[in-house]
Structure 1
Amino acid sequence: MTKVKMAMDVNEIPKTQQWIFLSIQHLFAMFGATILVPFLTGLSPSVALVSSGAGTLAYLLITKGNVPAYLGSSFAFIAPIIGASMSAGPAGAMVGAFLAGIVYGLVAVFIKILGLGWLMRILPPIVVGPVIIVIGLGLASTAIDMAMYIPGVDEQVYSSMHFMVALVTLSITIIASIFFRGFFSLIPILIGIVSGYTFALLQGIVDTTEIITEWNEIISADSIGGFFMAVFQMPDFIVPFVHYAPMEIINLQIIAIMVPVALVTIAEHIGDQMVLSKVVGRNFLKKPGLHRSILGDGVATMIASFIGGPPNTTYGENIGVLSITRVFSVFVIGGAAVLAILFGFVGIITAVIGSIPTAVMGGVSILLFGIIASNGLRMLIDNQIDLSDKRNLIISSVILVVGIGGAFIQLSDDMQIAGMALSAIIGVLLNLILPGKESGYGNGAFFEDKDLSEETNM
């Protein structure tokens, strides 16, 4: 690997004051996107913060403290969580997330034994790129509905006020992304949410009742013990065997909705590890090994499923922070994880998050879901996938229409394979069946770095 300049090495421990501020920086970078996923899926944002922190700490432990990556809520699982929740409530989504984590573990074992080539044969860019596009565009209607309509009513009622709030939020997020520099360029989502929230507050569409209640409890505390009890509150955890019986909930429909998505997010994980390796100047696919990082990702998702949080994934926002600051210390990442856990237990923070209008989140989502789709397109472009090749054109076309069109296979009265899961399965099958597989890899840019692409048994 090429040596890179660094302000702090991977295992270097920063000074206390530096440590706090550097960790807060990473916390801000992941905060907006991490709370957006539970906001869209009906899960608890405070639990999502706790699960992201706990999952990151587990990831750092499993990778032996060698990979400075932060894990937050995965956008790829938004639609599957909603689908599983409609089938069996939030507990159904948790069972599905646990099973997806198991898939991560199995893939990690196979990579350890067989190397990486088999996975790339199943998931080349011509399959993964269009499926990522489906993930983004499949959520487009959700973003628009949140932006345009009054929440909490049975029928869709258009509101020019809510749409204006969404557009202001979107505009500020775009301005922050394009024109801001340094650290502020890394947190456009958070800047957009805070600005949109302020504008919505001025328009009178923010319900601050819960915030005022929490604040009054804090200022009225008459002892140190009372103060801590007022500030810190238990998040709304959803725990198996306490709040639900997993074996009574698990069914083939939940498996079909949640599990196939894991294959797509694993491919994204590999891409993140390659980018991170180039940023830090170390081959993380070889040491500590891709099998460890994938296992860490899977364990983080399983931890989230045990407490009621969304599945986790490595965050590009935090990789961006590493790239700019050149501070690669895993202790800084660990500090951000601890802070996220603490934030999840602070009642007034939970109240503020809960008061964010859906229009604000809708405005941010318009950009974020579009970026997800664009990243799928970018994978095709970066790998120079030739869409004049009939094979590539057929695979991508079928994946896009099946996934975005909402096609499904009804297997029984209470089971169907639908949307993104179905498009991913069909894409994998077409890639394996149709001749000329080499064209699906394009120019091989996914493995253009010899140091990163070299297969080992790790």
Structure 2
Amino acid sequence: MSQSAVIDIQDKPSTGKMITLSLQHMFAMFGATILVPQLVGLSPAIALLTSGIATIIFLFVTKFQVPAYLGSSFAFIAPITYATAEAGLGGAMIGSLFVALIYFVVALVIRLTGYQWIMRLLPPIVVAPIIIVIGLALSPVAIDMAMNIQVDNQSVYSMKHFSAALVTLAAAVITMMFVRGTISLMPVLVGIIIGYVYSLLIGIVDFTTVKEASFFAIPDFYLPILDYDVVVTANLLLIMMPIAIVTISEHIGHQLVLGKVVDRDFIKEPGLHRSLLGDGLGTFVSGLLGGPPKTTYGENIGVLAVTRVYSIYVIFGAAIAAIGTSFLGKLMALIATIPANVLGGISILLFGIIASSGLRMLVDGNIDFGDKRNLVISSIILVIGIGGAKIHFTDYFELSGMALAAIIGVLLNAVLPYEKKNTSSEHSV
């Protein structure tokens, strides 16, 4: 048993304690998990449902050894938006299935050959700038949602609505900076709740749909629809699949951090191939049902670190709680009434944190920007990704934005030579 654990991975707490601890994990992931579908036009209920299902799948695949919770991935916000415009929500789900297939292939190769090759393929100098791109490329979306309202399909500035965004942002920042304990790990949820209360006070919330909703409701499913048009299908793959480069890197990072928290080496046991397979299967099932792609959640790793309760039973309980909550029609309808400006306010913080986490990865990786190789790779990734560069293969096929930046980053890392360090005697002391 880990010396620091209050309740270790295989320990089962009492029923009352397990319920409390499981709800705590559900609340930690709740805000971010429902935010992603609301930004891309999916159902918050289906996001909750599939997060619970994906987590249970992950636990089974990893032989109940890795206490991780799977929630909605922010890396796919822009790709799902683009894919939906290209082929509808059903088409975007097809893209999610293909992303999962990449996980399966990578997991199989790791199982057969070991994991060292993927560490060399995706070093911090490639992954960190791509993460920065994800955050900064989404920033115009956050600002538009925070400041404007939609009038006749046009964005119109409203100070009244913008004030709700500012209150939401302030509440989240204060929670992060000045609140202690587990609540400090839930700034998204706290910010949304306070922003929502403020929105009620200034009269910008419409309860019409809540009155009409039933107490029990089946979540809205968006079944994958394969368009047999080769052009549409190819574009879906080009939009969605390259982002797996980022999410696989994120997955590896989470496994390393989680291993440090609970004093285990999850890369070796149960193995990176198993955790990647679990993540991929979770994303695959989510895509089949109409939910966003999944990823292990840093928020829940934070809860583990603070509480030192690592029990797999608690994570399983959180998954069951999420599944049950997804069928509460009134609650889901209430969530749908959250003003876009509140979501915009919290997105300003979240998207900024995503970009900043990329910067942190560069610092933690001791990346030397005096090395011209590092400077070239990061510079090209950032400009191509944020600038929205496009490559048109024909009049119909194109690769653009984050997807293009990810692929070019991997290629540059593979082909650019490392600088030779000057070790001549004239520079010796």
TM-score bucket (shorter structure): over 0.9
In the alignment, does 2:219 pair up with 1:235? yes
In the alignment, does 2:260 pair up with 1:278? yes
Change (3 A) 1:176 1:432: same
Identify which of 301, 309, 333 aligns with 2:315: 333
Greater Cα shift, 423-432 or 249-258: 249-258
Amino acid corresponding to residue 20 of structure 1 in structure 2: I
Q: CA deviation at 1:4?
A: 3.2
C-alpha contact (below 8 Å) 1:165/1:196 kept by paired residues: yes
Q: Which residue of 2 aligns with 1:158?
A: 157
CA deviations 1:328-370 (Å, max 9, x no partner) are 1111101110111111111011101110000000000000000
Amino acid corresponding to residue 255 of structure 1 in structure 2: L
C-alpha contact (below 8 Å) 1:151/1:358 kept by paired residues: no
Q: CA deviation at 1:155?
A: 1.7
| Superposed counterparts of 1:336-351, under 5 Å | 336-351=318-333
Q: Which residue of 2 aligns with 1:444?
A: none
Q: State the distance in 1 between where 2:419 and 2:350 align.
A: 32
| Superposed counterparts of 1:368-407, under 5 Å | 368-407=350-389
Q: CA deviation at 1:417?
A: 0.5
Q: State the distance in 2 between where 1:99 and 1:324 align.
A: 36
C-alpha contact (below 8 Å) 1:253/1:416 kept by paired residues: yes
Q: CA deviation at 1:211?
A: 1.7
CA deviations 1:417-449 (Å, max 9, x no partner) are 11000001111111111101899xxxxxxxxxx
Q: Percent identity?
A: 55
Amino acid corresponding to residue 123 of structure 1 in structure 2: L
Amino acid corresponding to residue 32 of structure 1 in structure 2: G
Q: CA deviation at 1:414?
A: 3.0
C-alpha contact (below 8 Å) 1:4/1:280 kept by paired residues: no
CA deviations 1:103-128 (Å, max 9, x no partner) are 00111111111111211221111000
Change (3 A) 1:390 1:310: same
Amino acid corresponding to residue 209 of structure 1 in structure 2: T
Q: Secondary structure at the match of 2:77?
A: helix
Q: State the distance in 1 between where 2:420 and 2:53 align.
A: 41
Change (3 A) 1:185 1:262: same
Q: State the distance in 2 between where 1:248 and 1:315 align.
A: 36
Q: State the distance in 1 between where 2:152 and 2:268 align.
A: 53
Q: State the distance in 2 between where 1:56 and 1:438 align.
A: 46
Question: Where does the alignment leave 5 or more consecutive residues of structure 1 unmatched?
Answer: 215-229, 440-458
In the alignment, does 2:18 pair up with 1:19? yes
C-alpha contact (below 8 Å) 2:28/2:186 kept by paired residues: yes
Q: Which residue of 2 aligns with 1:141?
A: 140
TM-score (norm 1): 0.89
C-alpha contact (below 8 Å) 1:183/1:321 kept by paired residues: yes
| Equivalences, count | 420
Question: Where does the alignment leave 5 or more consecutive residues of structure 2 unmatched?
Answer: 422-429
Q: Secondary structure at the match of 1:412?
A: coil
Q: State the distance in 2 between where 1:341 and 1:408 align.
A: 40
Greater Cα shift, 186-195 or 404-413: 404-413
Amino acid corresponding to residue 371 of structure 1 in structure 2: I
Q: Which residue of 1 aligns with 2:79?
A: 80
Amino acid corresponding to residue 373 of structure 2 in structure 1: R
> Where has structure 1 moved over 3 Å in runs of 4 or more?
244-250
Q: State the distance in 2 between where 1:150 and 1:93 align.
A: 26
Q: CA deviation at 1:239?
A: 2.3
Q: Which residue of 2 aligns with 1:452?
A: none
Q: Which residue of 2 aligns with 1:5?
A: 4
C-alpha contact (below 8 Å) 2:91/2:226 kept by paired residues: no
C-alpha contact (below 8 Å) 1:408/1:419 kept by paired residues: yes
CA deviations 1:80-106 (Å, max 9, x no partner) are 100111110001110010000010011
Q: Which residue of 1 aligns with 2:425?
A: none
Q: Which residue of 1 aligns with 2:401?
A: 419
Q: Which residue of 1 aligns with 2:414?
A: 432
Change (3 A) 1:89 1:322: same
CA deviations 1:399-418 (Å, max 9, x no partner) are 00000001011123332111
Amino acid corresponding to residue 82 of structure 2 in structure 1: G
C-alpha contact (below 8 Å) 1:257/1:418 kept by paired residues: yes
Q: CA deviation at 1:15?
A: 1.1
Q: State the distance in 2 between where 1:438 and 1:184 align.
A: 49
Q: CA deviation at 1:251?
A: 1.2
Q: Secondary structure at the match of 2:245?
A: helix
Q: Which residue of 1 aligns with 2:125?
A: 126
Q: State the distance in 1 between where 2:291 and 2:188 align.
A: 20
Q: Which residue of 2 aligns with 1:321?
A: 303
CA deviations 1:117-171 (Å, max 9, x no partner) are 2112211110000000000001000000000110363222111111111011000
Q: State the distance in 2 between where 1:270 and 1:245 align.
A: 31
CA deviations 1:274-300 (Å, max 9, x no partner) are 000010011111111110000000000
Q: CA deviation at 1:246?
A: 5.8
Q: CA deviation at 1:213?
A: 2.9
Q: State the distance in 2 between where 1:316 and 1:245 align.
A: 33
Q: Which residue of 1 aligns with 2:427?
A: none
Q: State the distance in 2 between where 1:293 and 1:239 align.
A: 26
CA deviations 1:205-259 (Å, max 9, x no partner) are 1111122333xxxxxxxxxxxxxxx42111111124xxx3465686111111111
Q: State the distance in 2 between where 1:80 and 1:407 align.
A: 14
Q: State the distance in 2 between where 1:298 and 1:136 align.
A: 23
Q: Secondary structure at the match of 2:163?
A: helix
Greater Cα shift, 2-11 or 35-44: 2-11
Give RMSD over aligned pairs.
1.5
Q: State the distance in 2 between where 1:95 and 1:4 align.
A: 45
C-alpha contact (below 8 Å) 1:95/1:246 kept by paired residues: no
